Structure 1
């Protein structure tokens, strides 16, 4: 019998063991009570003990199954493939000898049916079931002492029904495992496609940013320096003006390059200490005479390391939210609350400002801020997160950003 690798297999193995030993013990007790002092009794007892020991050694000797391959822990010395069929053949041979000596042992064939179906390939298992059924029929007719149609037909019918149910259940389980494997493969492929799409989108964004700023600036610098070189000797003042213009363009490009670096790796996170330290640094920088900002971290009993993308996104959301509070809320106090749960991390930004109606259309002029609610939602959406805004006129605002941890890894 193969060693089970899941709860259902362990449960079925335990039931088969219990049924086999109950039938074996019942057959031995029946023989000893009905045939006291029988000369063959010592042989019956010895063979019964041998059969019990062989059945107990089954999981250790026959680790694996030829009927259905399944994953197992790697072994330093793999057992040969023939060990399980050899063990089962030995068990069946001892049982057959017992049936010849005492026909009441024939009912032990029932758990042996399932053992063969679980251990052997389907074709070999069906042959074994047919042989066992024939022995059961012969033993029952021998006990009855005459030809009984019920004893002749009932065991094959029961064996056929049990075999059909077992094979159907196994095929259903195999189809379910194949479906689960396909779903897992599809999920991995979808995740890989999403990562590739995100990478391409980020590359496109950076290429557009670099083309529109750094590349254009470098082109302007080259043209200004070439112009300065052409008029350097004839018009030195004009040449120096070109050089000063080139230096101004270079300074602007340097500021743009620093902005790119900050977008990719926020400076507050680069200092170390994690997201909570970065939020405290942000609160210290944004707080002042007119706005007090506090930070509260609720990690419960665990403080898991957050992925870099999650930390960067939540820090950007906090920056944008505080910018909105400072520019539009008219608040005196803002609180940043970072909550780490088992499956997600939540950042709440609350203020005591005059609030607004989230369902009303935005009235702020376009382009007045670099970060707005749509940008926050887009940033969180890339991580599978959500943004919720709760507010009402005169009651302040609570902005909640939630990111699932498993989806963002």
Structure 2
């Protein structure tokens, strides 16, 4: 059976639409480490600036030692944050509650420490789920407003009521937007990675199908055709064994020679090497000349020979072998001719015989003569960008022509 070209087709995988952004919280942003370091530095700068401001603007008093001790304790607690990670574990939540509690006491003692709330907003948004984080930000903001209004000595100021919520809203909005953008980017990267893996799997499947097709054509053009020829020769020897022993022995010797070459081809398949004729040295011309001698055909080379890629040489030799196998099995030709022609832009292989011929249209449609192997030959030349033409008429012989474009000088070699 002649192999036909197959292509692997896969339906697009359904993804169920865009993926929702994950909730705010633990370690969702690849840049969270960098942003966390920035917020840590900002927290310590604000904490230090608030402490310095308090010491400069206030004389030493009873609350001063407590403010210094609580500032140091808050700084030490904040340093433990990276050790506990960013996920909402019980230890992390307990740490956050402790930090907030110490900060609240500091704000009660000195309202200037309220500016440390902005880094705490970020810490809460990274640690807690979205709703809990927003509740924490709201409570912290309300406490800052209360502390600024109730504990300041500068009188009532509208900025004390408007500024903290505005800062909290801006900080929260920027963080939420950045987190959702990062979630979309992660979903996109995940889809791209999955798509790349799927494409790699498709390419592997297509490569497997192509290799199966190549092996099927190799077996058809060599082993199968050789076995068919051996069967015909042995049947002919059996018919003439009593009446013409010399002819029968000649048929047997020819069958033995074909079997020997088929054995060499089988061994080459195991090692996935070039055709046995090409591996013996001498290139395509020598291989075709040897094939023509075995088939009692006339061989001719026209034009100036050029070096051909191994794939082109293998394909042309396989096509010639398949053509001669078809002639032996179907044509009943008295004479055959094999011509290799080098043109300026292509190399052409012609195989002509004066046999019984056939109807190419019927063979192409699946009817007519059985087992010509033309589809396999056509696939071989198409894989190399060439064309295969067959001219035949019942009772008037056949001419098969395979043309393959020559590779550019940089690819074809010297």
Q: Normalising by structure 1, report the TM-score.
A: 0.60
Q: Distance in 1 between matches of 2:240 and 2:310?
A: 51
Matched position secondary structure for 1:366? strand
Which whole-Å CA distance do the structure 1 matches of 2:52 and 2:345 have between them? Answer: 92
| Alignment gaps of 5+ in structure 1 | 67-80, 268-281, 287-317, 325-360, 379-386, 390-396, 402-409
In 1, Cα distance between equivalents of 2:412 and 2:133 = 61
Distance 2:183 2:232 in 1: 70
Quote the residue 1:182 is aligned against.
191
Contact 1:104 1:139 (C-alpha < 8 Å) held by counterparts: no
Identify which of 50, 60, 66 aligns with 1:37.
60
Larger Rg: 2
**Is residue 2:114 matched to residue 1:106?**
yes
Residue 259 of structure 2 corresponds to residue 250 of structure 1: yes
- Aligned counterpart for 1:152 among listed residues 161, 167, 174: 161
Q: Does 1:59 align with 2:82?
A: yes
Match of 1:120 in 2: 128
**Counterparts of 1:72-87 in structure 2 under 5 Å?**
81-87=89-95
Task: Please tell me whether residue 193 in structure 1 is matched to residue 202 in structure 2.
Answer: yes
| C-alpha contact 1:65 1:84 (8 A) present in aligned 2 | yes
C-alpha distance in 2 between matches for 1:400 and 1:48: 78
3-state DSSP of counterpart to 2:164: helix
1:129 aligns with 2:137: yes
Matched position secondary structure for 2:96: helix
State the Cα distance separating 1:233 from its structure 2 match: 6.2
Structure 1 counterpart of 2:174 = 165
Q: Distance in 2 between matches of 1:400 and 1:132?
A: 76
Per-residue displacement from partner, 1:260-279 (whole Å, max 9, x unpaired)?
A: 456x3469xxxxxxxxxxxx
> 1:224·1:243 contact (CA, 8 Å) conserved in 2?
yes
Distance 2:38 2:204 in 1: 47
Contact 1:137/1:155 (8 A) holds in 2 = yes
Matched, 1:320 2:308: yes
Equivalent runs, 1:377-388 vs 2, <5 Å: none
* Aligned-residue RMSD, C-alpha: 3.8
TM-fit CA distance, 1:257 = 3.4
Asked if 1:366 is matched to 2:348, the reply is yes
**Structure 2 portions without partners, runs of 5+:** 1-24, 276-280, 284-305, 313-342, 351-379, 387-405
> Residue in 1 aligned with 2:228?
219
Between the aligned partners of 1:200 and 1:33, the Cα distance in structure 2 is 81
